Structure 1
């Protein structure tokens, strides 16, 4: 415990899960705001703790999804074990990784994708385009195009296009919240939206952490995993103040802030998962309550003692609980249990 005194504020320290404290004592945080050029030149230094190169694994194959502007979006497709789950066609789950819209690739959540396919579903991991190389909002277009491509590629992927779910962590969770509304508006049925530690407001464009109306944003603004300085770093790269008016003009405002979505009726079933010691906790739960008020079926779970992206840390028992919860939710949503 002595090793992390001074790194975690006194009011936060007793709230944290012992497994995380043990992990954190041996894994001190990196600089929160490295130049993006350095990040791109040394991606291995900024990978998630659970990053894994699954290229060539049994049942794993890479494809390219055409975007609407002619760029190929890489996706990695994970098929379940046929001996255990039958020969298909299988339900399909699209995964959108976290990383503040700035970091992440097909290795970031590969271990989680391997776990989720144990539900008996095909998992499609999407390598959407990142900021600042592309304008924020392109990521959502890439996700939408991938959803359409997956449904149109049912024969090639051996999937059931009528049994589709979506999910994501952090920035990826934000993306799937937007897709949830877009799919409803387009008449595309989804079995489940499974969003975790999800930003539901435009916190990346805040000038200071006190701009947030949510208590958790204030309480944990100097938390150990996603402090305000880290959020501000991502914000400068994808929603800088000088570009915000252009983004608001180009994209629907609720894309930036899903809590402002105009219609909360007839949305697909949703599983919202939050972490207790996370500045984004309250806005994820506020999104869930808006779904409840709209008459939708919602499951909410808060993982006690956990910081943002705890599900990336294999040494935490809560992470394995998170994996089991995902498998149970996917099997139930797709009628496999």
Structure 2
């Protein structure tokens, strides 16, 4: 009898697990159905959560993403002088062979919630910018949290910006046409880098902020229905900010340059392009930051795209929304650099 009961208990447990899994799958399908069909990339169906248990696996997965070649664009690694705590900082440089002397340059900062990703993971988009704009694109391989909390990543990005300016002649770029940009956490770092550069007297042509991670206080709020359900969720956001700040996010204060939205005054910052989708967890903080910039006299363009969840422009590259989203970025860079469209 004990064996029979034990067997029944086992099967009941398996059945319960199966029902729970089916419920999760069903819930995921319903969430994906809320977005436009052309944006329903396979990865949208995968429930990803960044935490201490999954971090190693997700880092390896992001590090091993294929980097398709783009005919006519090369990418090379370059060791540069980093901050004292990271003297072996590396950047990746993408360019076309016919890039003219005195071209503009985009300093790119990859995403990954402050805890994952690397310069190589953003090679496809860097090559795309380099090809379509015929500009130099420099991507920073900054240190990651939680092993290296703030200010490690920002220090690396500032060192890369300094290196680009100091080596303008060797790089054959115009030091007066430097733009900085990034997606997700990279966008948040770019916003903080723009603040630090402004305070250091370093002029920038544009800050290109793609669904940027700007405000740790979002972790303390419940998102509206349908927001933050795909790719980057509130649970991942909490882990990312906690890892980066080395403390619980949403406290009464944050160190200078740690959280872009915590800066008291945004006046005198460089022009900005900010793009985000309506279901993105960051839509509220991004729109609020854009409104603050505009109110304080900063030239800002804000693009809010219906149905574009976090990272959808990379996962559904050929969707009309993704193409228009990217085209707006290219237009903003051309305008900031004074480059005519071909």
TM-score bracket relative to the smaller structure: 0.7 to 0.9
Q: String of CA shifts for 1:214-261, please: whole Å, max 9, x gaps.
A: x7x34346502112122223234333537998x94xx32xx2332221
* Residue number in structure 1 paired with 2:244: 238
Q: String of CA shifts for 1:69-106, please: whole Å, max 9, x gaps.
A: 15221101112341xxx532211110001000000112
| Deviation, structure 1 residue 296 | 1.2
Relative to structure 1, is the Cα distance of residues 44 and 318 closer, same or farther in structure 2, using a 3 angstrom cutoff? farther
Indicate the SS of the match to 1:146: helix
182, 195, 198: which one aligns with 1:184: 198
Tell whether the 8 Å contact from 2:238 to 2:249 is kept in structure 1 after alignment: no
For 1:97-112, list aligned pairs within 5 A. 97-112=110-125
* 148-157 or 323-332, which deviates more: 323-332
Tell whether the 8 Å contact from 2:217 to 2:249 is kept in structure 1 after alignment: no
Tell whether the 8 Å contact from 1:62 to 1:75 is kept in structure 2 after alignment: yes
Which blocks of at least 5 consecutive residues in structure 1 are unaligned?
none
Indicate the SS of the match to 1:268: coil
Q: Does 1:172 align with 2:186?
A: yes
Relative to structure 1, is the Cα distance of residues 175 and 22 closer, same or farther in structure 2, using a 3 angstrom cutoff? closer
Q: TM-score, normalised by structure 2?
A: 0.82
Q: Does 1:121 align with 2:135?
A: yes
Indicate the SS of the match to 1:104: coil
Tell whether the 8 Å contact from 2:111 to 2:187 is kept in structure 1 after alignment: yes
| Deviation, structure 1 residue 283 | 0.3
Relative to structure 1, is the Cα distance of residues 138 and 54 closer, same or farther in structure 2, using a 3 angstrom cutoff? farther
Q: Does 1:329 align with 2:342?
A: no
Q: TM-score, normalised by structure 1?
A: 0.83
CA distance in structure 1 between the partners assigned to 2:169 and 2:337 by the alignment = 18
For 1:12-31, list aligned pairs within 5 A. 13-14=33-34, 16-24=35-43, 28-30=46-48
* Residue number in structure 1 paired with 2:96: 80
Which blocks of at least 5 consecutive residues in structure 2 are unaligned?
1-23
Relative to structure 1, is the Cα distance of residues 191 and 134 closer, same or farther in structure 2, using a 3 angstrom cutoff? same
Tell whether the 8 Å contact from 1:23 to 1:315 is kept in structure 2 after alignment: no
Tell whether the 8 Å contact from 1:201 to 1:256 is kept in structure 2 after alignment: no
For 1:255-294, list aligned pairs within 5 A. 255-294=257-296
CA distance in structure 2 between the partners assigned to 1:262 and 1:243 by the alignment = 18
* Residue number in structure 2 paired with 1:225: 231
Tell whether the 8 Å contact from 2:77 to 2:93 is kept in structure 1 after alignment: yes
* Residue number in structure 1 paired with 2:28: 7
Which of the pair has the greater relative contact order for Cα pairs under 8 Å at 6+ separation? 1
Relative to structure 1, is the Cα distance of residues 48 and 303 closer, same or farther in structure 2, using a 3 angstrom cutoff? farther
Q: Does 1:67 align with 2:82?
A: yes
Relative to structure 1, is the Cα distance of residues 299 and 30 closer, same or farther in structure 2, using a 3 angstrom cutoff? closer
Tell whether the 8 Å contact from 1:196 to 1:272 is kept in structure 2 after alignment: yes
Q: String of CA shifts for 1:295-333, please: whole Å, max 9, x gaps.
A: 111111012111011122135332232322222221111
Q: String of CA shifts for 1:169-228, please: whole Å, max 9, x gaps.
A: 110111111111222222211110110111221148x4xxxx23xx7x343465021121
Bigger Rg, which one: 2
Q: What is the number of equivalent residue pairs in this alignment?
A: 314
| Deviation, structure 1 residue 153 | 0.8
